[in-house]
Amino acid sequence: MSAHVYTGPAFDAVDIIRIKRDRGTLSADQVAWTIDAYTRGAIADEQMAALNMAILLNGMDRAEIAQWTTAMINSGERMDFASLRTPAGAPMATTDKHSTGGVGDKITLPLAPLVAVFGVAVPQLSGRGLGHTGGTLDKLEAIPGWRADLSNEEMMRQLSEVGAVICAAGAGLAPADKKLYALRDVTGTVEAIPLIASSIMSKKIAEGTGALVLDVKVGSGAFMKSIEMARELAETMVALGKDAGVNTVALLTDMSTPLGLTAGNAIEVEESVEVLAGGGPEDVVELTVRLAEEMLQAAGVRDADPAAALKDGRAMDVWRRMISAQGGDPDAALPAARESEVVYAPADGVLVGLDALSVGVAAWRLGAGRARKEDVVQAGAGVRMHAKPGDLVRAGEPLMTLLSDSPERFARAKEALEGAVTIAPEGSRPASRLIIDRIS
């Protein structure tokens, strides 16, 4: 479907700014004109920056957020999966997952093929990492030959034949969001919940899936540091999804500790393959299975057993087909960092804290992430953890291994890890739970 053309009344950008500055409410036409005019270049960046700051400080009501989201969807094309059919010829249900980002969050990799095992199509449009949070596409691009950029036709064919695709969103999907996101990033307005919610949901609704599960991270390594803010964001996004006719549910999940035992690109692919082979860290398996259950339930599939499909190899079979369909070699050796340095446990006891933000920043500084969108990542860089909170550790034993092609990066990575580790006397227990709440 092509972009919607705005034909309503015109307004003045300064008047729009004043309304939000003075805690007023924008009409549907005012919102639609604002997004259309900014996308066309008729509103200057400095004017939109002022409006974004007014929204950050004064908020938006539910109707305004819904209208803002709709206007961003209307700035580009909408995808349509109605033509997808099961082998028996019945319409194929579609479902998707979005994570608000974290450290070691490789869940999409095993999750998409796992859900596809049960005959539900998973069109997973993903992004690249920026700062301390890793990007799904960066991880998969560590696989030799794998490509992220697919045409809509290639995507539809792969969904029909394989059932799952993980790829980059096309340039035509919510172009207003791309422009707005770049502006928010440099004007201190990224944290505005109405703008975060509309940014995420405009892309997901335009993507056209029938069901959506949101993984809203909470904690030091997450965008949302407090449960209250995470809950507000989750409730706003669930409401936007339901208003648009998308069956939407959200889980609040802990990101005070990294997920799994790896933070990087190739090493996270390696860990994801372990999960698909029936092993892998308990927290990665737990969250993968729980999200799969939510996605399948939202798509109308009952009595599925995702845990069994991980154990018996069915999910691995879909993974191999999915990687091959996008030019990747699932049997190829993954890139490995040329240099490594070990961080040792400072004392005996129980590891009760491993700060996610510190580990994420260390991986970023080692070369696994980027400071600017145009930066190149090192496929083999990252942090391999040898213990998780709850594990017994001994002084002088390896706690983490730092990986990089650039040994001069180790010093700054170790600086990021200062204070990241908390060791308590034997018998202590870490106070955290992976899945905090469910919002529907």
Q: How far apart are CA 189 and CA 54, in angstroms?
A: 9
For residues 64 and 44, give the distance between their C-alpha atoms in angstroms, rounded to a whole number: 21
Rounded Cα distance, 265 and 423, in Å? 28
| Residue 234 one-letter amino acid | A
Contact 258, 101 (CB under 8 A): no
Active site residue 98: yes
Burial call 209-233: b when 16+ CB within 10 Å, e when fewer: bbbbbbbbbbbbbbbbbeeebbbeb
Kindly state the tokens that stand for 235.
């409730």
Residue 250 near residue 290 (C-beta atoms within 8 A): no
| Active-site choice (97, 132, 178, 184) | 184
Report DSSP state, residue 407: G
Dig out the tokens for 188 from the structure.
């201190």
Choose the catalytic residue: 20, 36, 97, 98: 98
Q: Which of 99, 199, 220, 272 is catalytic?
A: 199
Identify the three-state secondary structure at position 266.
helix
Q: Tell me which residue of 241, 252, 291 sits closest to 106, measured CA to CA.
A: 291
| Pick from 217, 254, 238: nearest CA to 298 | 238
Query: Of 128, 179, 203, 217, which one is the catalytic site residue?
Result: 203
Q: Do residues 73 and 206 make contact, with C-beta atoms less than 8 angstroms apart?
A: yes
Catalytic residue among 36, 96, 138, 177: 177
Catalytic residue check, 78:
no
Please say if 184 is a catalytic residue.
Answer: yes
Which residues are designated catalytic?
98, 177, 184, 199, 203
